Amino acid sequence: MIQTRGEKAFVRFSTIMMGLIALAAFLPFLLIVIASFTKESSLLSEGYSFFPKELSLDAYIYLKASSYTFLRAYGVSFFVTFVGTAVGLLITSMLAYPMSRRDFKYHNTLAFVVFFTMLFSGGVVPSYIMWTQYFHINNTIAALIIPNLLANGFNVLLVRNYFKNNVPIDLIESAQIDGASETRTFFNIMLPLSVPVLATVGLFMGLAYWNDWINALYYVSKPQYYGIQNLLVQLMNNIQYLNSGQAGSAIGAGAVDLPSSAVRMAMAVLGIVPVLFVLPPLQKYLTRGVVIGAVKG
């Protein structure tokens, strides 16, 4: 491929801009990491700094000693994220496919039905009653996977949009003239051609599962089902609760040993770092369309 001068200039411009944007994203995170290794006293006297006077491992030692089982929590989080994303992606794309077909009578009705769920919700209490008293999912691993996260209107409409605009209708029609069933068309033509959007939505779902702690707050009270975010949010909420006027001196919690700012930063690091290892390989799927586009052409 020959590049013109204008194109080269544009690539250079893109490189610099993206470099700056990436820097803006990484620097604050670096600050968090450094703060988690900073000695508490220098954190309080000098504030957050990229070059702290005194480093220390105290925050991580504190977390280790707290005997929260981080390893098990990571296990729960990974399991929930993997299963939830896989099932959710399947359901989402299966629903999006008919909606993307203009020749399907109910495509707009379905879109409306899905979109409506994004706007209105009955609130926590009705959902809670339904899931716990009719489906009995409380205190099971399913409680972390099924409520709210398995599919949402945003993702379905995103996938539908991609199907509708990026996959040529002739491809589907010619496959069906060849006698392919809808199921086969979907799995063999639609899905392979839509890897970028599936990767995108998969990423969104995966992050939603990884970051979720609400389901566990509502539906789970056994620590063996706590994912990493639950552990972190619980620690963080307890700190906030005890620091706020609510708890007050009335409870007399004066003797509770609260984790410091450095510990909170260390907790944030523990929640983020594993995700960073998963992201770069995902890039491949996000850009898969480029290759397919070439094959098609």
Of the chain, the end-to-end C-alpha distance in Å amounts to: 16
Give the integer Cα–Cα distance in Å for 133 and 38.
48
Using CB under 8 A as the binding rule, whether residue 74 contacts other proteins is answered as no
Q: Which of residues 217-236 bind other proteins (CB under 8 A)?
A: 217-218, 221-224, 233-234, 236
**Of positions 196, 215, 227, 228, contacts other proteins by CB under 8 A:** 196
In the complex, least distance from residue 22 CB atom to other proteins, rounded to whole angstroms: 3
- What stretches of the chain show up as alpha helix (H) in DSSP? 5-36, 40-46, 58-65, 70-100, 107-119, 124-129, 142-145, 153-166, 169-177, 182-185, 191-193, 195-211, 214-219, 228-243, 261-286, 288-296
In the complex, least distance from residue 71 CB atom to other proteins, rounded to whole angstroms: 13
Q: Which is nearer to other proteins, 71 or 249 (CB)?
A: 249
Q: How far is CA 150 from CA 154, 177, 204, 234, 274, in A?
A: 12, 34, 12, 23, 22
**Of positions 47, 51, 76, 172, contacts other proteins by CB under 8 A:** 47
Using CB under 8 A as the binding rule, whether residue 180 contacts other proteins is answered as no
Using CB under 8 A as the binding criterion, the count of chain residues that bind other proteins stands at 167
Give the integer Cα–Cα distance in Å for 25 and 6.
28
Using CB under 8 A as the binding rule, whether residue 177 contacts other proteins is answered as no
Using CB under 8 A as the binding rule, whether residue 94 contacts other proteins is answered as yes
Q: Which of residues 269-288 bind other proteins (CB under 8 A)?
A: 271-272, 275-276, 279-280, 282-283, 286-288
**Of positions 34, 73, 156, 270, contacts other proteins by CB under 8 A:** 156
